[in-house]
Structure 1
Amino acid sequence: MSDPREERRSLGAPASSFDLAASPFRVDRDRIATSPFFARLGGVTQVVSASGSGLLHNRLTHSVKVAQVARAIAERLRADQRFVESLDELGGCDPDVVEAAALAHDLGHPPFGHLGEQVLDRLARHRFALADGFEGNAQSFRIVTTTDTGGPSAVGLDLTAAVRAAMLKYPWTRLHHPDPHPRFMSVPPRGATEPPEAPGTGSGKFSAYVTELDDLAQAREAFTGRLADWQQTVEASVMDTADDIAYAIHDLQDFHRIGVLQHAPVAAELSRWQSSAAELGWLSDAEVHERGPGHSLELVRRRLHAKDAWIFSDDAFHSAVARVRAELVDELLATPFDGSVEAEQAVARFSARWTARLVEGMTVVPEPSTRSGHVVLGGEQWHEVQVLKFVHRRFVLLRPDLAMHQRGQARLITSLVEALDQWLGDRHEADRLPRRLHDLVELATVEYEALARSEPGVLVGATGDAPHGRDEVHALARGRAVIDFVASLTDKQAVSLMEALSGRSGQPWSDAFVL
C-alpha cells in the first residue's frame, strides 16, 4: 500500500515523455539541470567576477558543489541508524531531493552577486512600491514555480512538493505569511528579523513572494503537523547547511588562488586575538570598535554569544580559532599560490579535509533552537564555520578595491532598471520591447490583478497603503516584470544591454535577450 505522505511529497506534474528518470525527484533534478536559468549561473558572479580566468567560482560551480555536499550529508544521515526514525517522523531526508534543491537554490541570484540583490531590492521597494522587494531565495522559488517554462505545464518546472519545500530556507514571505509572522517571535528564526537599517520593511530574508503564496502552501502541505509553519524541512536544512559549508571553504580557496587572501593580515588578526582574548574581553563595545588586530574577531565572538547562545561556547570558539589558524593560515596561506602541482595539491587537501570534517559533524536535533534547523553541524564544526566566514568577510568582502568595483556595478544595475522602466512606459515602443520582457509583464499583470481582487492586503507595504485602481496595480506588475527580467541576466548580458540602451554599443544586436 502506498504511503499517503510520500504521495503528497511527490505531488507535482506527471512525468512527460521527455523525462529520462523514473523517480520523480530525479526528474526534478534533470529539469533543473537543463533549465536555461541554471545554465546562466555560469555567467553570474559568486563574489567577484571570474572574468573567464577559470580560477574563481561562479554561481554555477558553487551550486554544483553545494549539491555535492548536500547529497553527502543526506546519505550519511540516512545511513546512521540513530537518525533514521527522527528523519522519517520529521518528513523525510531523500538524497535526490536535497541534491535537486541545492542545484536550484541560486537560480534567482541576479547579476553581480549579493550586490545585485541589494540594489534590486532597493529599487523594487522604492521605485516600484513592491512590498516584497527582491530576495534571491524568493526569486529562485518564483523561477521554478512560475517564470521558467521547462515543465509540462509551461508554467514553472512542475517540481515535486518535496523539492520545492526543500528550497524554502526561509519558509515565509517578507511581511504577511504565516500569521503571526515569525519576525515577531521572541527569538526569531535566522533571517526573519528586520534589517536594523530598514525598520518596518519586514524580514531581511524570505523564500517566497506573495505571488507564490499558493505554491508555498502546497509545497509545505505534506509537512503539516510535523513542523512549525516557520521551520525548514529537514531537506531544506541539509541544503542550507551545505550552502554554508561550500561558501565557507570554497570562497577562501578562490581568494588564496588569486593572491587576495594574504597570510600576514589574517595571521595578525587571529594571533592577536589568541594572545589577547582576556584583555579584549574586558573592553567596552565602544573601545573594541577601534581598528586594530584582534578587534574584529572579538566583535564576532560577542555577536555570536548574543545571538546564538543555544550553541555558542567560548571554549569552542577558542578551539575553532586555533584550528583555523593552524590549517588555513599557517599551512595553506603560508605559501603563496603559484600554480604549481604542489600548490594545487595543497588547495585540494585543504578543501577535501575541511569538507569531510564538516559533513562528518552533522547531526539531527529533535527539538532545535528557533535559530536552527533540525539538521545541524556539531558544536565544534559550527564554531569553525563561523571563524572561516569571518575570515572571508573581513579580508575579502570588506576590501576597498572590491567596494569600488561594486559601486560601479550598483550604478549599472540602477541605470538598467530605470532605462527598461522608461522603455515600458513609452507607448510608441510597445511593439518593439524584448519579447521576454513583454511576456513577463503579461504574466505579472495577471498575478497582480488576481491578488488585488482576492487578497489586496498582501500588496500593502511599509507605508500601509494598498494600490488603488487598475493603473496602480498594473504599475506593480510592470515593476515586478522589470525586476524579473534584470535578475535573469548574466553579468555580461547586463553590461551589454546597458551599453545598447545608452547608445554606446556599436552592435545593433546583442545576446542580452537570451532570457
Structure 2
Amino acid sequence: MDDLYDEAARERLVPEPPKRVDAPIRTAFERDRARVVHAAASRRLAAKTQVVGPQSDDFVRNRLTHSLEVAQVARDLSRALGSQPDIAETAALAHDLGHPPFGHNGERVLAEVGEACGGFEGNAQTLRLLTRLEAKTDGAGLNLTRATLDACTKYPWPRTDAHSVKFGVYADDRPVFDWMRTGAPGERQCLEAQVMDLADDVAYSVHDVEDGVVADRVDLTSFDTAAVWQTVRDWYLPHAGDDALDATLADLRAVGSWPATPYDGSRRSLAALKNLTSDLIGRFCGAVQHATLAAADGPLVRHAADLVVPQRTRLEIAVLKGIAAHYVMRTDDRVALMERQRELLAELVAELLERGPDALDRPFADDWGAAADDAGRLRVVLDQVASLTDQSAVARHAALTGRA
C-alpha cells in the first residue's frame, strides 16, 4: 500500500540526510509514528483529563490511554480499507497532543483569554506542537511527512467568521499549513484524517460510557431517556427526534452483550462490560468499512476518497456520547469542579503575562524574548499553559499566587 503514496506525500518540510547504513530500515511513515510516540507531549497526556480526572481512579482513562485506544481503532480500520495504517495510527496518537490542562474545559478558557492573539483551539495547537514546539528538527518541530501532518489535521482551515470555534491553524503557523495542504482540495479532510476522526468518536463514545459505568455514574439497564435525548440534542445532534433516538437505543439494546443487570464490580460484570465495548467498536467500524468499500471507486488514500459513515452508526455513537455527557459531564459536582478549573487557568494566564519570562520554562522564555508584540507574548503564554498537565497547572498556579 505504500506505493499508493507519492513523493509529495513523503516529503518533509526540512529535507533530512539519509540514515546510517546500520540503522533499522523503516518507511517514512514508520519514522513519523516513532517521533510522535517519543515526543514529550505524548508523555504528558498521561496526566491530562479525559472525562473523569486522571487521578480519580486507577481504572478510568486519561488522554494517553484514550489516544492509544483511538490509535488501535484507527490502525485496524485503515488496514481494512487498504490505506496506510501507520499514517492513521500516528494521527490518532497525535490527535489530543494540543489539549491543555482540563481538556475541553481548559480549551474554552484559553480561547477566551487568547482572543487578542487569535484565540486557542486544541487541534491548531496540535499542529503547532508537531511543526514548531516539539524539539526534533530546528524550525520544524518533529518534521513529519506531509501525508502524516495532513492526517493529524482534523479541521483543515484557519480561523474565520465561518470557523470561529473549530479550526486547525493559527495565523502565524500558516506557512507550514499551506505547505502541508499543497494539492489538497479546499477544506476537505484527507481520508486518513477522517479515519482518525471516526476512531476518536468511536473510542470515546464507548469508553466514556464504560468509565461512567465503573465509576457508578451510569446504569445501562435504566436511565432517563428524555433527559439523555435532550443532552444529545444540546451537544451533538440538534435535530435528532425522540422517535429516532428511541429506535436507536432499541437497536443498541439488541446487541447480545448489552447488560441485563446493573454493573456490580465483580470480575464477571467487568468482563461483560469489556465484551460490550468490543462488540460496539466492531459494530461501528464494520458498518463504516462496508459502507466505504461499497461506495469506493478508487484507492482509499489521502484525497482520492472519503469515509462513509451510515446514519444509523452516527445515531448510535451520539446516543452513547449523550449517556456519558448527561451522567458524567453534566452532574452538579462536575459542573462545580469545571468552574474552579476555569478560574484557575484564567488566573494562571494573567500571572504569567504579568511576570513574563522569569515565570516561564526556558523554551517559552526564549520564545517570549523573540516575540514582536503583546499578541506574540500572549501566544507564548498560551503555549506554556497548554503544555502543562492538570496537576502541574494546579502546582504552577499555587506557586505563583500563593493559593492552594
Query: Which TM class, normalised by the smaller chain length?
Result: 0.7 to 0.9
Structure 1 residue 341 corresponds to structure 2 residue 267: yes
Aligned residue for 1:38, secondary structure, equals helix
8 Å contact kept, 1:74–1:94: yes
Counterpart of 1:291 in structure 2 is none
Counterpart of 1:42 in structure 2 is 46
- Matched residues in 2 for 1:106 and 1:390: separation? 21
Structure 1 residue 168 corresponds to structure 2 residue 168: no
Q: CA deviation at 1:321?
A: 1.5
- Matched residues in 2 for 1:305 and 1:324: separation? 18
8 Å contact kept, 1:48–1:113: no
8 Å contact kept, 1:66–1:243: yes
Counterpart of 1:269 in structure 2 is 224
Q: CA separation of 1:336/1:305 partners in 2, compared to 1, >3 Å: closer, same or farther?
A: closer
Structural RMSD (CA) = 2.9
Counterpart of 2:142 in structure 1 is 157
- Matched residues in 1 for 2:358 and 2:120: separation? 28
Counterpart of 2:87 in structure 1 is 97
8 Å contact kept, 1:48–1:112: no
Q: CA separation of 1:314/1:302 partners in 2, compared to 1, >3 Å: closer, same or farther?
A: farther
8 Å contact kept, 1:170–1:207: yes
8 Å contact kept, 2:111–2:119: yes
Segments of structure 1 that go 5 or more residues without pairing to the other structure are 79-92, 176-180, 184-191, 193-202, 271-293, 368-372, 425-429, 450-473, 506-515
| 1:389-412 Cα deviation digits (max 9, x unpaired) | 111222221111100111111111
Q: CA separation of 1:300/1:34 partners in 2, compared to 1, >3 Å: closer, same or farther?
A: closer
Residue identity (%): 33
Please report the TM-score for the alignment, with normalisation by the length of structure 1: 0.70
- The count of aligned residue pairs is 388
Aligned residue for 2:49, secondary structure, equals coil
Q: CA separation of 1:407/1:14 partners in 2, compared to 1, >3 Å: closer, same or farther?
A: same
2:321 corresponds to which of 360, 380, 389: 389
Q: CA deviation at 1:318?
A: 4.1
Aligned residue for 1:485, secondary structure, equals helix
Aligned residue for 2:6, secondary structure, equals helix
Structure 1 residue 479 corresponds to structure 2 residue 378: yes
Q: CA deviation at 1:252?
A: 0.6
| 1:424-470 Cα deviation digits (max 9, x unpaired) | 1xxxxx56753133023245x2xxx5xxxxxxxxxxxxxxxxxxxxx
- Matched residues in 2 for 1:404 and 1:214: separation? 41
Structure 1 residue 116 corresponds to structure 2 residue 81: no
483-492 or 496-505, which deviates more: 496-505
| 1:256-310 Cα deviation digits (max 9, x unpaired) | 111111357xx3423xxxxxxxxxxxxxxxxxxxxxxx26516746998876xxx
1:284-303 paired onto structure 2 within 5 Å: 294=226, 296-297=228-229, 300=232
Aligned residue for 1:482, secondary structure, equals helix
Letter in 1 for 2:322: F
Counterpart of 1:410 in structure 2 is 342
Q: CA separation of 1:504/1:69 partners in 2, compared to 1, >3 Å: closer, same or farther?
A: same
Letter in 2 for 1:9: A
Counterpart of 2:301 in structure 1 is none
Q: CA deviation at 1:385?
A: 0.7
Between structure 1 and structure 2, the one with the greater Rg is: 1
Structure 1 residue 438 corresponds to structure 2 residue 365: yes
